Amino acid sequence: MYRNPWFTLVLGLMVGLVLGYIFAERQPVPPGKALMLGVESTGNQSGGIPEGHPPVPAATGAGTQRLDQQVAEIQGLLAANPNDPGLMAALGNVYFDAGRWEDARSWYERSLQNSPGDANIVTDLAVVYRNLKQPERAIELLDEAIRIESDHWQAWYNKVVVLHFDLHDHDQAAVALRRLQQLRANNPSLPDLSGLEKEILGN
């Protein structure tokens, strides 16, 4: 059957664009998120947070329209690749950045069901549970991330924060901080720990 060459050209361009977008979305998952001290929160303020408590992450300026667009784009890709854990994690990241913790939890857990053992996603899920006011579950997940990757500094950092600020287990927070200090000695790219050391050790 004869086909118009313009039709073939346009079809080829469309397929190329779709495949390129899918490959772009499948870049490695970003490093696990850390609950940094001294970071300005841009919204999503919670009452009753004690002074010095790390801020709760909030949506970062994209707005509802941008959020809906990102969600629609990723869900469109998921419709064609329903078992892709990277796309599930990407959707979890979008909801994480928007402070929509239940949605983030759901997609991170789906990602881990399809591809368990990613310390970054386990760490992000722990932060989600912390923001859902379930610090004990957050610690369980952080310990799991550390079992997967013993030098995962974001997991250690978050463990210090949750133990100290949420569970008020200051002795164990100090133990975790010492491990974090060891990691920083061999990895200068880790963030400055002076604020955390002063808060926990009084130095």
What are the extents of the domains in the chain?
Answer: 5-37+55-201
User: For 55-66, what is the mean pLDDT?
Assistant: 58
pLDDT at 49: 35
CATH hierarchy code of domain 5-37+55-201? 1.25.40.10
Residue 90 has pLDDT above 90, yes or no: yes
Q: What is the pTM of this model?
A: 0.74
> For residue 14, what is the enclosing H or E element?
helix 5-25
Element (DSSP H or E) covering residue 31: none
- The size of the chain, in residues, is 203
Q: What is the mean predicted confidence (pLDDT) over 166-183?
A: 96
What is the residue whose two structure tokens read 């899918």?
22
Can you give the pLDDT at residue 75? Answer: 94
Mean pLDDT of 11-20: 41
32: closest CA among 93, 114, 94? 93
Residue 28's pLDDT is what?
36
Residue 104 clears pLDDT 70, i.e. is over it? yes
Least confident span in 47-56, 125-134, 173-182: 47-56
Residue 174 has pLDDT above 80, yes or no: yes
